[in-house]
Amino acid sequence: MSKLFSSTIPSSVKADCENCFGLCCVALPYAKSSDFAFNKDGGTPCKNLSSDYRCSIHKDLRKNGFRGCAVYECFGAGQKVSQKTYRGNDWRNNKSLAKDMFEVFPIMQQLHEMLYYLHEALSLQETLPIHNQLKAAIEETENLTNLNPEEILKLDVPSHRFKVNDLLLQTSEMVRSQIKQNSKNQAKKRSEYIGAKLKGASLKGANLRGTLLIAADLRNSDLRFVDFIGADVRDANLSGANLTGSIFLTQAQVNSAIGDNQTKLPAHLKRPEHWV
């Protein structure tokens, strides 16, 4: 069955806030909601952003009404734009760069997210037949991230994502095709499970790409070898659930869910501090 080694996913596609100019705290807009304590326009620094580009309430984001920030993941785009694309020239001391930098950042985030998934796909033994294609896609995507700001702003990201997604779909089929879904507790597949009562259910090997699992009760459920790409698991209760072998599940998704010390996660993901 699928085996993922954490070392196969490079640090370059994981957030490194120490080397970023707080881009997610400036470039991105958000609206007052259960995830954010107040409204903020894109391109406007968050009032919690310090002069050293660190969040002044980072340790208490949830307590202060910023759960959305606590679960955000840039996949390393922040440090790439800050240190590589703009060569360490920050937006505060280089006002002329600010607007373009804030527009480049979300594009870079999309490219880095693709890189994260491609590296994960490459690490799976089931994908050996398409390893060369995955390596080529990684190289092509990396080359796009190394373009200058003007070229990045002209990229046709949807077109590139379409090509990458084809490989990710093949990966999903290769992993899940080996799973026999014959459990008597097998849950019926549907496009959304918002608030669904699925305690103890089996979704082993299911394709939950883009599925809404908001506030679903998945306690003690079997979620092994599930494809979670793009799934919304905010407030889903994963206490006691088994997610080993699942693919395309990110730390941000895990952070947005509820779990406990009995929840089994893929080896490359960490148990969130706010879990019981």
Write down the pLDDT at residue 2.
Answer: 53
Q: What is the mean pLDDT of the chain?
A: 93
Who's near 164: CB < 8 A, 6+ residues apart?
Answer: 114, 117, 118, 137, 141
Share of the chain above pLDDT 70, in %: 93
Mean pLDDT confidence for 15-25: 96
Domain boundaries, the chain: 6-176, 181-276
Tens digits of residue pLDDT in 154-172: 999 999 999 999 999 999 9
Secondary structure element (H or E) that encloses residue 164, with its range: helix 157-176
Angle at 78 between CA 159 and CA 68, to 5 degrees: 90
pLDDT(187) > 80: no
State yes or no: pLDDT of 192 exceeds 90: no
Per-residue pLDDT at 5 = 41
Q: What does residue 116 show for φ and ψ, rounded to 5 degrees?
A: -60, -50
Assign residue 44 a region: left if phi > 0, alpha if psi is -120 to 50, beta otherwise?
A: beta
**Which residues lie across from 54 on neighbouring strands?**
none
Question: What was the pLDDT predicted at 8?
Answer: 73
Please return the burial class of 104, using the count of CB atoms within 10 Å of its CB with bins 0-12, 13-18 and 19+: buried
Is residue 276's pLDDT more than 80?
Answer: no
- Which residues, listed in sequence order, are joined to residue 264 by a DSSP beta bridge? 242
- Render pLDDT for 52-87 as a digit per residue (tens, 0 to 9): 999 999 999 999 999 999 999 999 999 999 999 999
Distances in whole angstroms, Cα of residue 113 to Cα of each of 37, 152, 174, 261 = 27, 15, 21, 28
Query: Using one digit for the tens of pLDDT, what is the confidence trace for 23-40?
Result: 999 999 999 999 999 999
- Given CATH 2.40.10.220, say whether it is the number of domain 181-276: no
pTM, rounded to two decimals: 0.92
